[in-house]
A and B are shown apart, each in its own frame.
Chain A
Amino acid sequence: MALLNLSSPHHHSLNRTSRLMMWVLLATVPGLLAQSYWFGYGTLINLIWACALAVSFEALVLWLRKRPIKPFISDGSALVTAFLLALALPPFSPWWLTFVAVLFAIVFAKHLYGGLGNNPFNPAMVGYALCLIAFPVSMTQWAGTESTLNLAQQWQWFWTETMSGGIDGYTQATPLDLMRHPKGLTLDELAATNPLLGLGLTASAWINAAYLVGGLGLLALRIFTWHAPVAMLASLGLCSGLFHMGEPDLYPSASQHLFSGATMLAAFFIVTDPVTSATSRKGKLIFGASVGLLVFIIRSYGAYPDAFAFAILLMNLAAPLIDTYTQPKAYGHQGNKDNER
């Protein structure tokens, strides 16, 4: 047998990119189930549709780019993007909305920048932000919690956007949206007058808790480090807590912020995207904390009910700068101030 001539190390752990991606997908399952429980089949239909689209687009672009298709498809990164988009889009998203979001995420945000590892922006967030700006009505048709559509109704809505009796009976503003427009009422009065708010808050709290469980699982598996999610949640909690203490009538509490909207999904599945976030431990802390701060600012003062897509895209822009200034001190450089740039 001819002897191999290879560089050290000659041994390798069983760690693989596809394994990381698979764990990420698995960790979304509790959230997915919770979301389906509260909002019906929409998310599941969306998920299957988004996965099919993502893999197809990925294969197509790899073929156009003359790259080997199988090894790249099998890394699972396209599926992660599809999952994140399907979970973030409203359950009442029609087929074309998901189509546009996935197309933009995979083709434009990912492959036009050079494919996995080279994209400066989180692909799912680019797709999401595009739809949010281009199709604001569809993007805010969030399913109600009182009466969910059955599978047939959901299927019909998904393809035709027609609904006997109209969709209005089934949609509902999200709690964050409600709280942003209190119509002159304090939050307590709002909760008293609008029973939907309480129900919505309960639903999103359950969903967020489910994502938290999945995220903690990934943390336990050391798929990512704790720095970015903890920093993000801490900064969001701290800001909302401080403002709530100051004006409880205007600002929702820290727990409402942390357990509503896409907080936990973002904290454990989007902020932790390694490709587009800062890379050193200190950098991840700064990155996460800044996302939390931006989320609070946009939620409280911005024009959109939830803020993760914009907060994360903004911080994606800042990640290289953060990296430049957060280089850790290497072994033997402890006494050396010049090393810290």
Chain B
Amino acid sequence: MSQTWVRAIVGLVAFFVVLVAGINVTGTLDVTADPNTGLIAAQNTIIAILFVALLAGLIAYAATEYAQTRRLDSITRQFDTRTIVLIPIAIAINIVLGQTVAAALKVPIYLDSIGTILVGVLAGPIAGAVTGGLANLIWTYVLPAPFHSDYAAPFFIVAVEIGLLAGIFGRLGFFRSRPNTPPARLAIGAIVVVAIVAIIGFYGFVPFYSSGQISFFAPPAEGAAAPDPVFVILGWLVALLVIGAVVGLLALLFIKRDLGAAYVFVAGLVVGIVSAIISAPISSIVFGGVTGSGTDILVAAFQQAGSSLREAVLKQGLLSDPIDKTLTFFLVFAILGALSRRFVARFPQGEAAVGLSEG
């Protein structure tokens, strides 16, 4: 157990060393927030540094393990035959659901990471990351039409992040079903969730989408007229959606009396926000903010309201991704519940992910 701690500490130290070094090398970062958008000027640099630091942390972790044991068990264990067989199925789930189901629903969500999240939860973070990355690369470079898509490969780093985070949440037991939670603990869980949503909403969303007063989508440009009524309505719709989601979650919590739902909700929210931040620069640089899905109209609306392309893409992502990922996490939670324990427990991280069976 102590060896694992040494590895984790070495990994964390490497992460922070690279982070600090990166910030020093790139010079002073302009972290003053743009008064209109709340965006930091050096946003892209920070993302790049974070990514390199994360990579360095992982490599340091692996190197320490290799030095300690001459093997890389914690990584190779995530790739047993069962996982190797699961990955193609998971990729197929990503692609088929991402392409058909989301297209059939015609709503601005993607649903293209169910398989990635499943592998992350069942097999571990590295396996999840590999699944996500491979899925997007295969989607673009290996699959022939009609399943082929030109637009997946540039986003592969986002898919890697989703798999990685899903694996970490899985190991921490966020996908455990917690039936028959006593009402007092349910209430605490509910309060925590509402507080998290409120904090994220207040500090993370309101500054992005309004200019002082609670009128989402208002044009931030100075001297502009009152916001177009269309955007005000859209803004309130979004607010209603968020409130509806929270109310729905609370109802679910108390009807099913399963605190697991709260954990899943928080995990989905976190992954969604991180995904939005990473995918925004890719989407704006490579595709001009247009990926042919239902989310394009949102980007257009934000741009019309006066945002630059990158801001508009980020704003769209911060709306769509948390909704998409929270929904996806709930779907995975439901799928795990539908699978037999015997099946789940045989995966490398299965027991940690869903807990031990009582029977």
The answer to whether A binds B is: no
Residues of B within 8 A of A (CB): none
